Amino acid sequence: MRTFEYLKPASVNKALALLDLYGDQAKLIAGGTDVMVQWKKRIISPQVLISLRNLAELSFIKFGGGLEIGAGTTHRALELSPEIREHFPVIHDAVSNLGSVQVRNSGTIGGNICNAAPSADTAPPLLVLDTNVRIASTKGERTVAIRDFFRGPSRTVLQTGELVTLFSIPAPLPRTGMAYSKHTRRKAMDLPIVGVAVLLSFEEDLKTCRKAAIALGVAAPTPMRAANAEAFLAGKPVDKTTLLEAGKIASEEASPRTTIRGSAWYRKEIIRVLVRRTGLICMERAKGAARS
């Protein structure tokens, strides 16, 4: 019969020791909202589950211009954080519309990123925020830029014995607007057909683009940055026309697949539209941020 052992270490260090002990036979479980689904579908059959649930060390939101988020922080905790809502609305956009309240109460941002689904809702926001991923093992710590973290569907740079402890986000430039748009068939309990995060920092004229970051979900085997579209916008005045063009370029950079959830041509079409629309939200938000 299919069974597993469930271990619940009391600290990150103990979890790392267990990871060393069991190696590839073990699987980390945080909220379990991906792990249990995969276990039931027989995609994974680990002999040991090492639980990170309720480890205070991994569950925190530290704001001080920049932001540090513990990997074990639930989506619901992020959703309810006033600092995130105010200063990192792109994260709020993503986590407040992920699954359902029940899923958000259980699922964590670390689980979402480490599961490395092309559709992970928090990946595009963390990508445009130039997030650094802190990784720990019994041998020590290392930091990887989130751009380099994903290696393919369900694949990351994590080695056996490693876990993610936190996400570190630098303070955004002044006059920055950021937003995430998720295109779905229904309003809850749905994965994105495409997800688009945009971050735009403006010069003092609130028109000229100082920095553009655009990230796409479900557009390639991993969540991706649309570098050409970003380069196109940098230094240009941002308006409907330039955003429309940026959308076109991003759509060309993308290489989505046709699946039961959506056709490739449709995904490309939506990327085109959403880059523009999300860019316009960024402009509004940047103006709002400059005013306050």
Partner 1 sequence: MSELFVGKSFPRADAEKVTGKAAYINDIKVPRMLYGKILYSTRPHARIKNIDTSAAEKLHGVRAVLTGRNTPNVRVGFLGDQEPLKKDKVRQFRDEVAAVAAIDEDIAEEATSLIKVEYEDLPPVFDPIEAMKDDAPLVHEFDARGKPRRNNILPLPWKLIAGDVNKGREQSAHIVKDTFRTTWVHQVCMGASGCIAQFDVNNNLVFTSVTNVPFGGKDRLDMFLRNIGLKSSTRILTPFVGGSFGSKLDTDIYEFIAVLLAWETKCPVKILFDRHEEFTASPPRQPAIATVEQGCDKDGHLTFRKVDMILDNGAYTSWGATTPSVMSIPVSTLYKVRNIHFEATCVYTNNIYAQAMRGYGNPQATYVVEQSMDQLAEAAGIDPLDFRLINANEPYTESPMRIKITTCPLKECLQEVKTRIDWENKHGKRDGRGVGVASFLHVGGGARVYLSDGQGIIMKVNDEGKLTIITGGTDQGQGSETIIRQMAAEASGLRYEDISIVLGDTEICPWDVGTHASRHLFMVGNAILMCAEKIRAKIRDLGARWMRSIIEADLNKKARRDPDFKAPQIDWSVLENPDNLDVCNGEIFVRDDPENPFLRMKIARVVRKAHLLGTGRGEMVTAEAFYDPPNEMIDREGKGNISCCYTFGTHGVEVEVDKETGQLRILNYVAAHDVGRAINPMLVKGQIYGAAIMGTGYGLTEEMLLNAGRVMNPNLLDYKLLTAKDKVPIDAVIVEPIEPSGPFGAKGIGEPACVPSAPAIANAVYDAIGVRIKELPITPERVLAALKQKEEEGV
Ligand X SMILES: Cc1cc2nc3c(=O)[nH]c(=O)nc-3n(C[C@H](O)[C@H](O)[C@H](O)COP(=O)(O)OP(=O)(O)OC[C@H]3O[C@@H](n4cnc5c(N)ncnc54)[C@H](O)[C@@H]3O)c2cc1C
Chain contacts with partner 1 (rule: CB under 8 A): 1-2, 100, 183, 185-191, 260-263, 266, 269-270, 273
> Which secondary-structure segment (H or E) carries 64?
strand 61-64
* Residue nearest ligand X (C-beta atom): 111
What residues make contact with ligand X under the rule CB under 6 A? 27-35, 37, 52, 71, 98-99, 103, 106-108, 110-112, 114-115, 119-121, 158, 163-164, 189, 191
Residue 120 interacting entry, from ligand X, partner 1, none, C-beta within 5 to 8 Å by type: ligand X
Residue 83 interacting entry, from partner 1, ligand X, none, C-beta within 5 to 8 Å by type: none
> Which is nearer to partner 1, 190 or 245 (by Cβ)?
190
> Which is nearer to ligand X, 71 or 243 (by Cβ)?
71
Residue 31 interacting entry, from partner 1, ligand X, none, C-beta within 5 to 8 Å by type: ligand X
Residue 273 interacting entry, from ligand X, partner 1, none, C-beta within 5 to 8 Å by type: partner 1
Least Å distance, CB 266 to partner 1, is 5
Least Å distance, CB 225 to partner 1, is 23
Least Å distance, CB 253 to ligand X, is 22
Report the alpha-carbon distance of residue 95 to residue 81 in Å, rounded: 11
* Structure tokens that stand for 123 in this block: 């990946």
> Which is nearer to partner 1, 169 or 191 (by Cβ)?
191
The CB density around residue 167, as the number of other CB atoms within 10 Å, is 23
Contacts of residues 138-144 at CB distance under 8 Å and 24 or more positions apart, as own/partner, are: 138/16, 138/17, 138/19, 138/20, 141/165, 143/168
Least Å distance, CB 188 to partner 1, is 4
Least Å distance, CB 46 to partner 1, is 17
In this structure, are residues 122 and 149 in contact, taking their beta carbons and an 8 Å threshold? no
Least Å distance, CB 273 to ligand X, is 20
In this structure, are residues 153 and 142 in contact, taking their beta carbons and an 8 Å threshold? no
Contacts of residues 31-36 at CB distance under 8 Å and 24 or more positions apart, as own/partner, are: 31/74, 31/106, 31/107, 31/108, 31/111, 32/106, 32/111, 33/99, 33/103, 33/106, 33/107, 33/111, 34/107, 34/111, 34/112, 34/115, 34/117, 35/111
Report the alpha-carbon distance of residue 166 to residue 136 in Å, rounded: 9
Residue 103 interacting entry, from ligand X, partner 1, none, C-beta within 5 to 8 Å by type: ligand X
> Which is nearer to partner 1, 173 or 189 (by Cβ)?
189
Least Å distance, CB 253 to partner 1, is 19
Determine the length of the chain.
292
> Which is nearer to ligand X, 98 or 270 (by Cβ)?
98
Contacts of residues 151-154 at CB distance under 8 Å and 24 or more positions apart, as own/partner, are: 151/116, 151/222, 152/116, 152/221, 152/222, 153/116, 153/117, 153/118, 153/221, 153/222, 154/115, 154/116, 154/117
> Which is nearer to ligand X, 67 or 114 (by Cβ)?
114
Residue 242 interacting entry, from ligand X, partner 1, none, C-beta within 5 to 8 Å by type: none
> Which is nearer to partner 1, 210 or 277 (by Cβ)?
277
The CB density around residue 90, as the number of other CB atoms within 10 Å, is 30
> Which is nearer to partner 1, 185 or 291 (by Cβ)?
185
